[in-house]
Chains A and B, each alone.
Chain A
Amino acid sequence: MKRSILYPIMIALILCLAPLLIAAAKVGEAAPDFTATASNGQTVKLSANLGKYVVLEWHNNGCPYVGKQYNSGNMQRLQKQWTARGVVWLTILSSAPGKQGYVTASEENDYVAKMHAAPTAALLDPTGEIGHLYDAKTSPQMVVINPQGIVIYDGAIDDKPTTDLNDVPGATNYVNLALEQAMAGKKVETPATRPYGCSVKYAN
């Protein structure tokens, strides 16, 4: 009798724990789902974008590595180029309140307007929940997700881990490579790299 009660409880427990065990994002595996509030007030659910390519861009406006991409206009170019081809581009702000890169919704909207940035949405993640879900280490760390919801790239934006604007033109951009190769039906040759940049300013 006792056993018959215990088993369902154990199974339920295992089922509860299972998502925790497989939570962190990994190349080749399903992208963990999340729901977030965008700076424009909309609610964005990752899994609502199944069927489309999705780019996640970790952002911190005070980080010089991010500055290199935005002050050169490179990040905005990428955002415009890929969203024009139907890619969903989500900028994610995981800085905790009081830390470098933390912004309110209206501050982020001002930044996007001032920099002529063109992400699909900028997601506010002050608790670092999405950042930790993807084990994001740096800004600008980049993740590419395919229409089946599988992570096909996780890492650096390019192969020049510097803050020098002059390094942008000659760099090999890994996000471009992943999207181009995947869209052409090819295997992504470089699916993971060290995501160089500033550490993500989590609360702890």
Chain B
Amino acid sequence: MPKLPMPPLPKTLMPRPRRPGQTEEVPPTHQLKEAGISAVDWIDERTSLSGALRWVMFRKVPKGTNWFYTLGSATLFAFLSQAVTGVFLAMYYTPSVTDAYESARHITNEVFLGEFVRGMHKWGSTMMVILIFLHMGRVFFFGAYKYPRELNWIIGFVLLILTFVMALTGYLLPFDQRSYWATIVAANITASGPLVGPFLGDFLRGGAEFGATTLSRFYSIHMLLVPGAIAALIGAHLYLVTKLGTTAPPWAKPEPDEKLVEDQI
């Protein structure tokens, strides 16, 4: 269907011709767009962040990259979910031997969305451990730990251990019978190491007996010490992934340059 011409605008609505010496008027929407761009430009001019972002986001990935390559990101998002829910759980939780159980009960039963957020944190921790193992399996079976990525495998292994430490220290915090006795057992396993074991057990408990400082010790390790280390190591892990790139799956055949294929010479 042919496009019909617009009916002529009434004279009052027609844009007025510019008067001599008057500059062109910029419509407000355009101004808004310009403001955004110029703000980003202002930051970029002073930091050169766009180069780094381009380096991180627009990488070349090998042929054959598939869904298994998303397991690392999945673990990262599990960690972020744990971090966010954990920060907010800390707003209601009391790390004291007499009040901890009551405050955990309060979160679950009385705080709005408390059961949901606590559930996310609880099940999320299990999810994170499962995802780490799946990610580790992907890296292992695809041979992605080989040269030059050995250091990233080592960093990943440290992250695995730190995640275990998180799971162990977090287990005590609800402070019910299960978490209490599980922590007793864990401290005694630590103490069963020869020579240094007994002193490590004391360090973990804050003394020879499970006491008032044991819970606050675990809480501090759980929410300050280890998360900081994990966040820093994730940064190093991602830096190396970006720098070295990802590996092609083992079944992908390399395609040599056409000039190098013998038949074609």
A, B: real partners: no
Binding site for B on A (CB under 8 A): none
Binding site for A on B (CB under 8 A): none
